[in-house]
Amino acid sequence: MIYLDNAATTKPCDEAVKAAVAALADDFGNPSSRHFVGTQAERILADARTTIAKALAADEKCIFFTSGATESNNWAIRGAAENRIKRKPKVVTTTVEHPSVKEAVKALERLGAQIVWVSPDENGEITAESIISAVDDKTCLVSCMLVNNETGYVLPVAEGFAAIKRKYPDCITHCDAVQGFMKLPIKVNALCADLISVSGHKVYAPKGVGALYIKKGVNITTFMQGGGQEGGKRSGTENIPAIAGFAAAVKKLGGNINQRYENACTLRDTLYNSINSIADDIVINSKAGALPYICSIAMVGYKSETLLNFMSERGICVSSGSACSKGKKSSVLKAFGIPDNVADSTLRVSFSCDTTPQEVEQFAAALEQARALASTGNKRK
């Protein structure tokens, strides 16, 4: 198998699996229990919180565990805005956000919020100025992703948020950092974000776990009511096995972000060099400067679904875009100004730290084979 769909999910690393299994089998206590088995689980929880905080250069008291990025994004957006929109009704976000942000923002609109959607310009760029200019003294929340999950486009979050905070210090800033976490150096102070969402299964940890950073002094509404876990902000017995796996994966990745980034650049260059040698009708949607882990390409005239099936039959896993879209047309590619005929032929190739140049070359060879077969009569018009 050649797995090149790591933006959708990553294979849990051995360290994460070992930590999760140990928490299931041995340290299975409820961290709220006061006996020694519960205390062991509580210690795992505390250590994991410290690990995630360190990865973000944050205070551990500001890290709250969730069930994943969707919950973190929903909690951040609705928790920050629902009690503020009566006084400051505007919410600013972009048209290229993940569905868990877009749908949460639309829910605010049904409650009376005025949504300002910042779109890429004619060059397919979202500038810091376009985000800043959308904000005024009636804006309660700005939510902007760090890295686009379909194209790898890196948004100017730090620059935009810094300017917004200088002019409107009471405006809450939220960053969906899921695709950038452990791939780019992220420090909460430099990002100027009051709220940051991250996810476990994008960084070689189990599914079903994520975290939300909430800056000290920033008040958002409680998302889940119950027993008062997570400092009273997010009730529900913590998923200790998944949290333990999350922390173990982050520890493994922590020391070599720059080296892994360079490796991803090598993989990206291998991919682009390989596909450029196939034909001149292969389009690279990802812009220069995009995160090298995510490459959006299109073999124009060949339907994405056909190419996906072709690859899957040969043990190669890629996607046509966000895993959450389930085959629907990409609103993100449309927002970036990518023509429909290109979008309909788009594949997303995304790398892990275990991906090899040889695997990338094998994918490119399969793409060339698909083209050759289609030219004999299987091509879809």
User: Is residue 375 pLDDT above 70, yes or no?
Assistant: no
Alpha carbon distances (Å) from 54 to 49, 199, 251, 296: 9, 15, 10, 31
Of the candidates 101, 104, 167, the one whose C-alpha atom is nearest the C-alpha of residue 132 is 167
The mean per-residue pLDDT over the stretch 5-28 comes to 97
- The total number of structural domains that make up the chain: 2
Q: Angle at the Cα of 98 (from 93 to 102), degrees rounded to 5?
A: 50
Q: Do 249 and 260 belong to one domain? A: no
Give tens-digit pLDDT for 267-308.
999 999 999 888 777 999 999 999 999 999 999 989 999 999
Alpha carbon distances (Å) from 20 to 51, 210, 238, 354: 15, 14, 13, 21
- On whether residue 3 sits in a domain, the answer given is no
Q: Tell me what pLDDT residue 372 has.
A: 82
Q: Do 297 and 241 belong to one domain? A: no
Q: Tell me what pLDDT residue 279 has.
A: 73
- On whether residue 116 sits in a domain, the answer given is yes
- CATH number where 348 lies: 3.90.1150.10
- On whether residue 6 sits in a domain, the answer given is no
Q: Do 271 and 368 belong to one domain? A: yes
Q: Do 200 and 281 belong to one domain? A: no
Q: Do 283 and 348 belong to one domain? A: yes
Provide the 3-class DSSP secondary structure of residue 63.
Answer: strand
Q: Do 291 and 272 belong to one domain? A: yes
- On whether residue 4 sits in a domain, the answer given is no
Among 192, 265, 324, 353, the active-site one is 324
- On whether residue 198 sits in a domain, the answer given is yes
Report the chain's mean pLDDT, rounded to a whole number: 94
End-of-domain residue from the set 253, 280, 310: 253
Per DSSP, helices labelled H in 26-138 are 36-55, 69-81, 99-110, 128-133
**pLDDT class of 380 with cuts at 50, 70, 90:** very low
End-of-domain residue from the set 253, 276, 294: 253
Give tens-digit pLDDT for 112-158.
999 999 999 999 999 999 999 999 999 999 999 999 999 999 999 99
End-to-end CA distance of the chain: 30
Q: Do 345 and 214 belong to one domain? A: no
Indicate if 324 belongs to the active site: yes
Structural domain harbouring 277: 256-378
**How many Å apart are CA 198 and CA 65, to the nearest integer?**
10
Q: Tell me what pLDDT residue 223 has.
A: 83
Q: Do 166 and 293 belong to one domain? A: no
User: Is residue 96 pLDDT above 90, yes or no?
Assistant: yes
The mean per-residue pLDDT over the stretch 33-60 comes to 95
End-of-domain residue from the set 253, 270, 290: 253
- Backbone φ/ψ region at 315: left (φ over 0), alpha (ψ -120 to 50), beta: left
Sign of CA dihedral 375, 281, 263, 352: negative
Q: Tell me what pLDDT residue 381 has.
A: 40
- On whether residue 326 sits in a domain, the answer given is yes
Q: Do 220 and 333 belong to one domain? A: no
Q: Do 36 and 82 belong to one domain? A: yes
Rounded (10°) angle between helices 69-81 and 99-110: 30
Cβ-proximal residues to 46 (8 Å cutoff; 6+ apart), any chain: 60
Residues 316, 289: contact at Cβ < 8 Å?
A: no
Q: Tell me what pLDDT residue 13 has.
A: 98
Whole-prediction pTM value? Answer: 0.95
- On whether residue 8 sits in a domain, the answer given is no
Residues 12, 209: contact at Cβ < 8 Å?
A: no
- CATH number where 85 lies: 3.40.640.10
Q: Tell me what pLDDT residue 346 has.
A: 96
Q: Do 261 and 344 belong to one domain? A: yes
Q: Tell me what pLDDT residue 378 has.
A: 47
Q: Do 57 and 133 belong to one domain? A: yes
